[in-house]
Amino acid sequence: MDLEIEPVTFNSLGTACAGDLYLPTVDGPVPGLVLGHSGVMVKEALRVFAPYFVRAGFAVLAIDYRTVGASTGQPRGQDYPHRQAEDFRSAVSYLRTRPEVAPDRIGIWGVSVGGSVAVQAAVLDRRVKCVVAQSPSVWNGWRYLERLLGRAGVHTLRDRLDQDWQRRYEGHDSARVPHLTLQGENVEGTPDLAAEMFPNYRNEKTLDSAEHLLTFAPEQLIDRLAPTPLLMIANGGWDPYHILEEAQSAFAKAGEPKRLEVLPYDVLGLYTGPGLEEAIALAVEWFDRYLRRTRIVTPTPAPTRESVRGMTQ
């Protein structure tokens, strides 16, 4: 099934972000989804995931975060999770303007760190009616980097960040480093593969992105997500980047309604079949339940002085 992709741009706090919009061939308005990628992807990589949701009758907007891929913003490669949560929210605002989309039936989906970012965006934005985190990776950035680099590695990283701060103080840009390469050696082959597959991908980011990752801790907010429904799909096989124990710990702090599915696949197992198809089937069912079959709650308007006076008379 070939799907038409409409290239769109949307404003994210003054910066033009790029998106790929997919519309199902059904009468609208239909529920909408915003899809966010990992740190070693661009929106073109989401073309693997988007068709499943479109075939299920959802309008899909796959986005590039600011300074990444086809989105604008300088300096390039600012991998700032808090800003990426804002980009999710800006994409929701854009989808709500599309006549093909039911504005009160929008969910968000993210993969890897994009999954953790999606959860933070949903905590902050009650317009998001449902969220799915697939292979989520970072629930506490400091702890995540200590697992990846070791405490000695984080100590070395902090020394580099001090030097980089002085560099920025003196008016220079932050140093540029490869993704997932903070000690001089690439710890995952994915960035090189992404660079080969997607012309818009650049295997580099600003060094100060590590500061933003160190202070990113959506596990501290996840208990505020309820009553927004949360589905977390985690890797149960060998996986040093999307760590099962981290997902389980964060999930335990979330309120209902929630669901955790652990699938028996390794680090890239949910990016390819059959793990991909299993994971997406779970996500489609979750979105279908909470965006199509569940009645959307309408908040009670805040009382006015006149209405309060009338109730007390």
pLDDT at 140 over 50: yes
Q: Is residue 172 part of a domain?
A: no
Q: What is the DSSP string of 264-297?
A: S--TTTTTSTTHHHHHHHHHHHHHIIIIIISPPP
Instruction: For residue range 55-95, list pLDDT tens digits in order.
Output: 999 999 999 999 999 999 999 999 999 999 999 999 999 99
Q: What is the mean pLDDT of the chain?
A: 91
H or E element, residue 157: helix 141-169
pLDDT for the residue numbered 87:
98
pLDDT at 123 over 90: yes
pLDDT for the residue numbered 34:
98
| 254 contacts 225 by C-beta, under 8 angstroms | yes
pLDDT for the residue numbered 183:
36
Strand pairing class (59-63; 15-22): antiparallel
Q: Is residue 153 part of a domain?
A: no
Look up the CATH number of the domain holding residue 129: 3.40.50.1820
Q: Is residue 257 part of a domain?
A: yes
Q: How far is CA 148 from the centre of its chain?
A: 20
Q: CA-CA distance, 290 to 284, in Å (whole number)?
A: 10
pLDDT for the residue numbered 172:
96
pTM: 0.90
Share of the chain above pLDDT 70, in %: 88
pLDDT for the residue numbered 179:
81
Q: Give the least confident one: 117-126, 129-138, 193-202, 217-226.
A: 193-202
Q: CA-CA distance, 80 to 208, in Å (whole number)?
A: 9
Banded model confidence at residue 201, pLDDT cuts 50, 70, 90 = confident
Q: Is residue 148 part of a domain?
A: no
Its domain, for residue 137, covers 5-141+214-312
pLDDT at 225 over 60: yes
pLDDT for the residue numbered 294:
75
pLDDT for the residue numbered 203:
85
- pLDDT top residue among 308 and 148: 148
Instruction: For residue range 249-297, list pLDDT tens digits in order.
Output: 999 999 999 999 999 999 888 988 889 999 999 999 999 999 998 766 6
How many separate domains does the chain show?
Answer: 1
Q: Is residue 179 part of a domain?
A: no
Q: Is residue 161 part of a domain?
A: no
Q: Is residue 194 part of a domain?
A: no
Is the C-alpha dihedral spanning 202, 132, 73, 158 positive or negative?
negative
Q: Is residue 177 part of a domain?
A: no
